[in-house]
Amino acid sequence: MACRSGCRTQDHASYAQCCQDASIGAWMVAQSKGFDQATQRRWDGELGEYKALRKQGIQPDGTTRPHLEKAKMMSDKVGAAYGTDFNAASPMGD
């Protein structure tokens, strides 16, 4: 028997194929350090959004949500891709 005990079909050629069809994944965070699946999903989401922004030519200052939102907002506001060539002017003094 190659399938997991919880497999509904019990017809997979290998244990790995059974796990793959069940969408069982390995989580890369350590629960002992206060991380859980939600942390992993948030991290994966942020990296996915970072990748999407980079494809648009935008270079955020970091990969966390605040950096991503700032880069997107600034790009939309100015009409140019935020990044190393993007210069934000400092406020003018009176």
Q: How is the chain split into domains, by residue range?
A: 1-26, 36-78
Spatial distance between the Cα atoms of 81 and 7, rounded to a whole number of angstroms: 48
Output the pLDDT for position 25.
66
Output the pLDDT for position 52.
93
> What does the block give as tokens for 50?
């970072």
Under 8 Å between Cβ of 75 and 82: yes
Spatial distance between the Cα atoms of 89 and 45, rounded to a whole number of angstroms: 31
Lowest mean pLDDT among 10-14, 15-19, 90-94: 90-94
Residue with the larger pLDDT of the pair 74 and 24 = 74
Q: What is the pLDDT of residues 31-87, one digit of tens each?
A: 666 677 777 788 889 999 999 999 998 999 999 999 999 999 998 888 888 886 666
Q: Which of 86, 38, 92, 89 is nearest to 61 (CA)?
A: 86
